[in-house]
Amino acid sequence: MSALNATHDPALQSWVGSANLPGTDFPLQNLPFAAFRRGGSSDSFRGGVAIGDQVLDLGALHQLGVLEGLAAQALAACAQPTLNEFMGQGPDASGALRAALSAALRTAAPLAARLRPLLVPQAAAEYRTAARIGDFTDFYASIHHATTVGRLFRPDHPLLPNYKWLPIAYHGRASSVGVSGQEVRRPQGQVMAPGAERPQLSATQRLDYELEVGVFVGRGNARGDRVSLAQAERHVFGLCLLNDWSARDVQAFEYQPLGPFLGKNFATTISPWVVTLEALAPFRAPWTRPPGEPAPLAYLDDPATRAAGALDIRLEAWLESARMRAAGLPAQRLSQASFRDSWWTVAHMVAHHTVNGCNLRPGDLFGSGTQSGPHPHEAGSLLELSAGGRQPLALPGGETRTFLEDGDRVILRACCERRGFARIGFGEAAGVVLPARPP
């Protein structure tokens, strides 16, 4: 697991003034990575790092030739249109580049004058997914979400027997993963109305969001080799925000016996910025189980994970309707949760995914599954917040919601805060709902 080092020093300040402002997502202690280019240009995408409200162009920095050694090798990989090669170099390479960037961006750094022209305002940048995503696996790691949703459909047995023993997941659709700003066309599928004997092909009326953490794989593993829990985080590059849009009525009819299909594969939105595990080192927390719960099997248990395997990330979901935008009303926060409450950690996901010899590759993406807390206001989806559509939520201007309507914009945000350390943010994963296409 990443240890604290000089890059985490809360006293560090940057010559980029906006990085020193209270409440910024991107202080010098963060330095998350993305793939970007100037908006409206025909430039090639390349790697960038967030500092305050700016993006440092890593492709242009590579051309300057001012870094050396392992940091220079990592920087060269960041000059490519996607960050797969950089992610695959592993934590030693990303750590070396992070240290070099931290030194170059500090107040009074000798390179400041040469780097200042390489800054691009984030508002003027265009983003793509940070990596070329070969495979996407979505987990179901929040026991609070699983219990609440299970209770809606199986009041007497909300959790299935395997839940507490293994990280449940399904393989999603990598081709429909898009970056923040994604437009989501209301999908169609077969829906079985209550009491009906025959399904109908129709646009979903129960479109939902899911408040999730995304996990980008760094170093891969050879097919047939498993990754131990103790080594799992050395195969993880970093985390982002992830919204796995869901058509609940389509999902309800199709999911037995093989799980989600059309109810999930039409769109997944992630944030452009990937926060490295090293940046999150100050926000480690013990991974615990309540008394009386079964101990995990040996391959899903080790002392380091128990001591500091959890991450204390505060997650939020916000909603802005078309009417709210027209009236100039701000988005309304629907819920908040903590990734610390997850039943399974990032390391568990990697270890279980590979225990059968499955080969992961740099840039593969995991979703944590909807993250919900133990209290009703900590639910990470409208399915939970509206009690399956029975309890509408009030919005400003007299609107209500049980599920998403056309024109709704969903915004996911997250941050880490701990006394004695700089606040770390994740930016946003936002998407807007478009009407269904005509039949």
The answer to whether residue 1 is domain-embedded is: no
Is cis: bond before 257, omega within 30 of 0?
yes
Q: What is the pLDDT of residues 158-214, one digit of tens each?
A: 999 999 999 999 999 999 999 999 999 999 999 999 999 999 999 999 999 999 999
What are phi and psi for residue 339, nearest 5 degrees?
A: -65, -15
* Mean pLDDT value across residues 382-404: 96
Strand (E) or helix (H) holding 212: strand 211-217
Active site residue 352: no
Q: Identify the sign of the CA torsion 291, 292, 296, 298.
A: positive
The answer to whether residue 364 is domain-embedded is: yes
Helix, coil or strand: residue 60? helix
Q: What is 81-141 written as a DSSP string?
A: SSSHHHHHT-HHHHHHHHHHHHHHHBTT-TTHHHHGGGEEEGGGEEEE-SS----EEEE--
Kindly indicate the confidence band of residue 377, based on its pLDDT and cuts at 50, 70 and 90.
very high
Residues 6+ apart with CB under 8 A from 11: none
Same domain, residue pair 122 and 160 = no
Domain that holds residue 118: 6-128
CA distance 327 to 69: 54
Percent of the chain whose predicted confidence (pLDDT) is above 90: 97
What are phi and psi for residue 139, nearest 5 degrees?
A: -90, -175
Side-chain-side CA neighbours of 351 within 13 Å: the count stands at: 22
* Mean pLDDT value across residues 84-102: 98
The answer to whether residue 45 is domain-embedded is: yes
Asked if residue 67 lies in contact with residue 58, where contact means CB atoms within 8 angstroms, the answer is no
The answer to whether residue 428 is domain-embedded is: yes
pLDDT at residue 221 tops 80: yes
Here the tokens at position 31 are 């330095």
The residue type at 73: Q
The secondary structure of residue 45, as a DSSP letter, is P
- Tokens 């009074």, residue located: 108
Same domain, residue pair 117 and 12 = yes
CA distance 55 to 273: 11
pLDDT of amino acid 147: 96
- Tokens 């999911």, residue located: 255
Percent of the chain whose predicted confidence (pLDDT) is above 70: 100
Q: Could you say which of 69, 94, 128 is where a domain stops?
A: 128
Distances (CA, A) of 111 to 65, 67, 210, 276, 405: 12, 10, 42, 24, 50
Helix, coil or strand: residue 68? coil
The answer to whether residue 221 is domain-embedded is: yes
Burial class (CB in 10 A: 0-12, 13-18, 19+), 134: middle
pLDDT at residue 156 tops 90: no
Q: What is the mean pLDDT of the chain?
A: 97
Same domain, residue pair 96 and 239 = no
Q: Could you say which of 67, 102, 128 is where a domain stops?
A: 128
The answer to whether residue 439 is domain-embedded is: no
Same domain, residue pair 310 and 384 = yes
pLDDT at residue 324 tops 90: yes
CATH number of the domain within which 33 lies: 2.30.30.230
Same domain, residue pair 149 and 37 = no
pLDDT of amino acid 155: 87
Residues 6+ apart with CB under 8 A from 258: none
Same domain, residue pair 165 and 119 = no
Kindly indicate the confidence band of residue 135, based on its pLDDT and cuts at 50, 70 and 90.
very high
Q: What is 213-275 written as a DSSP string?
A: EEEEE-S---TT----GGGGGGGEEEEEEEEE-EEHHHHHHH-TTT--STTTTT-EEE-S-BE
Q: What is 290-357 written as a DSSP string?
A: -TTSPPPPGGG--HHHHHH-EE--EEEEEEE-HHHHHHTPPPEEEEEEEGGG-SS-HHHHHHHHHTT-
Residues 6+ apart with CB under 8 A from 127: 34, 35, 36, 179, 180, 181, 272
Closest CA to 348 of 300, 297, 276: 300
Same domain, residue pair 168 and 98 = no
pLDDT of amino acid 157: 87
What total number of domains does the chain contain? 2
pLDDT at residue 439 tops 80: no
pLDDT at residue 153 tops 90: no
Angle at 360 between CA 357 and CA 361, to 5 degrees: 145
CA distance 236 to 2: 11
pLDDT of amino acid 406: 98
pLDDT of amino acid 35: 98
Same domain, residue pair 80 and 164 = no
The answer to whether residue 42 is domain-embedded is: yes
Q: What is the pLDDT of residues 328-372, one digit of tens each?
A: 999 999 999 999 999 999 999 999 999 999 999 999 999 999 999
Same domain, residue pair 281 and 416 = yes
Catalytic position from the list 8, 62, 144, 145: 145
CA distance 65 to 60: 9
The answer to whether residue 425 is domain-embedded is: yes
Q: Could you say which of 128, 159, 179 is where a domain stops?
A: 128
pLDDT of amino acid 399: 97
CATH number of the domain within which 372 lies: 3.90.850.10
Q: How many CB atoms lie within 10 A of CB 308?
A: 17
pLDDT of amino acid 339: 98
* Mean pLDDT value across residues 97-105: 98
Same domain, residue pair 80 and 150 = no
pLDDT of amino acid 154: 87
pLDDT of amino acid 31: 98
Same domain, residue pair 122 and 179 = no
Which comes out higher in pLDDT, residue 397 or 95? 95
Same domain, residue pair 186 and 207 = yes
Q: Identify the sign of the CA torsion 223, 227, 231, 233.
A: positive
Here the tokens at position 39 are 């908006």
CA distance 217 to 145: 24
